[in-house]
Amino acid sequence: MAGFDLSGLTASFGGERVIGPLSLKVKEGEQVALVGKSGAGKSTLMRLIHQHVNRNSSLVPQELGLVNALPVFHNVFMGRLDQHGNWYNTVTLMRPFSRDKDKVRELLKALGMAEKLWIPTASLSGGQRQRVAIARALYRSAPLLLADEPISALDGPMAHQVMQLLKDRFSASVFALHDVEMALAYCNRIVGIQDGQIALDEPAERLVASDIMSLY
């Protein structure tokens, strides 16, 4: 199942409500951009969605969630840890199977970093680390992508390459994006978040950047 239909979503911190209650439905074939200023609740909403659809989704969290001590390969492989038994994962930690190495290398090649397969993740640049988290989400290959600012550390050409790759590989996607132009270029639906509520929900083709900037 690529989409989801969630209602009554709420989140509170320190006794203060920061999200909702709100409802959000995403259908197969939709690439949804969550837009809004910092602190509007985009990341919190993304976490709420992930809690409800966990196993059906591939996640790129804003904090990336990488294990610095492990090579790039193992960080990407973690995208499928729950799809294998403990014995398989333990063997892979010491001596990975060829099919897994080939698949991970293929994904890294698409992201311009195939030569980093065995490099310790701690030694990578910010943009490279972000691409490792993206490769992990691609490797999981769930039908739904949840990506929180997945291109924040990438330069222009690579940001476009990554957004196109993610758009092509998933049946449905939800992106939290600060870049309005990228949201309009790669998503077909724009959902604006303001003060923890949905303040805008329109097809991207009906909007221009100035329609969205009022949220910022």
Task: Give, to the nearest 10 degrees, the angle between helix 126-140 and helix 98-110.
Answer: 130
Confidence of residue 183 (pLDDT cuts 50, 70, 90): very high
Q: Give 79-130 pLDDT, tens digit per residue.
A: 999 999 999 999 999 999 999 999 999 999 999 999 999 999 999 999 999 9
* Domain boundaries along the sequence of the chain: 4-213
According to DSSP, residue 14 is labeled T
| Pairing of β 57-60 and β 31-35 | unpaired
Confidence of residue 20 (pLDDT cuts 50, 70, 90): confident
Token pair of 86 as six digits: 């403990």
Fold observed for domain 4-213: Rossmann fold (3.40.50)
Averaged pLDDT, 32-50: 94
Question: Hey, how many other C-beta atoms are within 10 angstroms of the C-beta on 179?
Answer: 17
Confidence of residue 180 (pLDDT cuts 50, 70, 90): very high
Token pair of 208 as six digits: 């221009």
Q: Give 63-79 pLDDT, tens digit per residue.
A: 999 999 999 999 999 99
Instruction: With 0.85 as the threshold, say if the pTM is over it.
Output: yes
